[in-house]
Chain A
């Protein structure tokens, strides 16, 4: 009852559009967010070193060396990671399906039948606005993938993409 030969799927032979990258400006934005986050964390760590009870043991040079090297390592890792993460993101769209890929170590590919879209949100936080970016949040009636976000889209493109998606999928209106 089991078959071992490769199955012929009808859509496997159809031409598939290439993945579209997200806006490269998202990388400096992510990095800025990282810088601010790291600044807060490392400032806090430095403050800990000057707490009287800790300072009682003396400010050994190795403590600051640890702090410094951790800082350098974190910054370098973030710089590299954001670049990799950016390249992992991508999406493609045909008449019926939106496909989103993401993830560096744990890779994910999500396929969304457009007629299942419940509604589409555009989200842009203060950082995204400064960089002229926006995220698209797609909502389905599903359980685990009930909302799927595509980050780092050009703000105008996000609006156009949303209008396009709503036009295709939207006539099954809620």
Chain B
């Protein structure tokens, strides 16, 4: 076997490679120190104690009512341990930025030292609960491309300290990408608000979200909670009252009973909607997406305020998601996968991935270019996949209908039982519809794919973020000469399995795959 010699050093443009690799050039304007040192806010001790107390509180009754001295001793030991560990955490925790690395040291007995190259920092998220807000401190989380979750948690920092850290990590003097002399420095611009969501937007988002069911579950949980407080006798009386009246109703006439049941259902739905709206407002209140230089900032939350800074160039995949209800009303949600903080399988209820919870589809189309670098000049046309997609979809659907018809006939032997077969034309129509929404657009810098008719999703992938391209062919695919193309990028967690194109003619699929891989290889991957 012979391999070609490795090519000589490539002369391809490597935009701003020197950004973070070396310590930043000293900037006389802003006078940022070369070595940045920081500590947690002293309130860390208080928060640590409160956290410990929460564990210890349930033991206190034991302390008072316990007969032996054992309980008292155990409690004292635990209390002392809590205090010592809270103090130790505060006094031993130190972080600094040195030669392009964020270094975090903690622990007294077991010293832990962690260093994170700053160029790998994806995002710094902050969270501020109600108490945090009153005290002016934040929980900061530094995410990197590791994908295993937070790389470092700085809890708690003063607001000013966080601001200093954020500026140091994200706003260090950067050489302009198109400036070859490297002499000019981009000054940190002001926040430029891209979109702010008002209460009306959030109410619409809540009403059109698919989370009604989870809202009902929340209502159930509240019920459970109330159950603990309300005395059992009252509870029993209410049930008796309800049962008695229901019986009376059912005896009197069926119609009233049915109407009652329907009203009950409606009430549940209404409650669900109220909770859904309340949940959305609580989570996303005051949602502001703004742009500051090269990165996007999000701020949201009514009680717990959340904020994050996401460099635009770290968006791995952008997804425009139009779920059924939202699509009917012309709304969409904008999500992004970043290579930091991939938490597959973890239920996300903090809106981490959401760039914009709700907006008109046209508005998102208008905004997308400002969210992705160089997307504005992208020239590409939408292309369709093989028409065989319709045939396959119809065949699959027809088989399901046939199975349903057979089962139905087996149950009741009448001609009416064949009704599932009548659905076949509908299946055909749906497949034709969804075929027309299936497609891809390949440009010099971005690949876009879209699929789905009732609920649609559009993915936009920067080609240089592609990690691997895969072609799959099932035996059926081979018979029809088709293939499925899937794109692997870092941190795919939120955009429903990443971009895929099914039912591509095999030659076309091969050509796309090769083009993508070649294009991706030409540009060095930057985190």
A-side residues, CB < 8 A to B, are 1-4, 6-7, 9-12, 16, 20, 93, 95-97, 99, 105-116, 140-145, 148, 154, 157, 160-161, 164, 167-168, 172
Contacts and interface: CB of A to CB of B under 8 A. Distances in A.
A143 B490 contact: yes
B365 interface: no
B515 A12 contact: yes
B432 to A, nearest CB: 14
Given A2-B383, A141-B525, A145-B467, A10 B515 contact: yes
A160 B5 CA distance: 11
A9 B511 contact: yes
Contact of A141 (B4, B7, B490): B490
Interface stretch (B63-71, B150-158, B249-257, B473-481): B473-481
Contacts of A114: 521
A144 B518 contact: no
B511 A106 contact: no
B342 interface: yes
Given A97-B521, A112-B468, A172-B524, A143 B515 contact: no
Interface string B483-505: 00010111111000010000000
B200 to A, nearest CB: 33
Contacts of B522: 96, 115
A164 B339 CA distance: 27
B468 A2 contact: no
Contacts of B381: 1-3
Given A109-B471, A145-B467, A145-B470, A95 B488 contact: no
Looking at chain B's contact residues, is the secondary structure mostly helix, strand, loop, or mixed?
mixed
A160 B4 CA distance: 11
Contact of B383 (A7, A99, A141, A164): A7
B517 A113 contact: yes
A4 B469 CA distance: 24
B520 interface: yes
Contact of A111 (B384, B468, B473, B525): B468
A107 B472 CA distance: 6
A148 B472 contact: no
B520 A144 contact: no
Contacts, number: 142
Contacts of B510: 12, 109
A49 B220 CA distance: 54
Which 6 residue pairs are nearest across A and B when measured between Cβ atoms? A142-B467, A113-B521, A96-B521, A142-B488, A111-B517, A143-B492
B134 interface: no
Contacts of A144: 470, 486, 488, 492, 498
Interface in B356-410: 381-384
A167 B492 contact: no
A113 B466 contact: yes
B516 interface: yes
Given A106-B472, A143-B147, 20 more contacts: A2-B383, A7-B383, A9-B514, A12-B511, A105-B475, A107-B478, A108-B470, A110-B469, A110-B471, A115-B521, A115-B522, A116-B525, A140-B488, A141-B490, A143-B344, A143-B467, A143-B493, A144-B470, A145-B470, A161-B1
Contacts of B382: 1-2
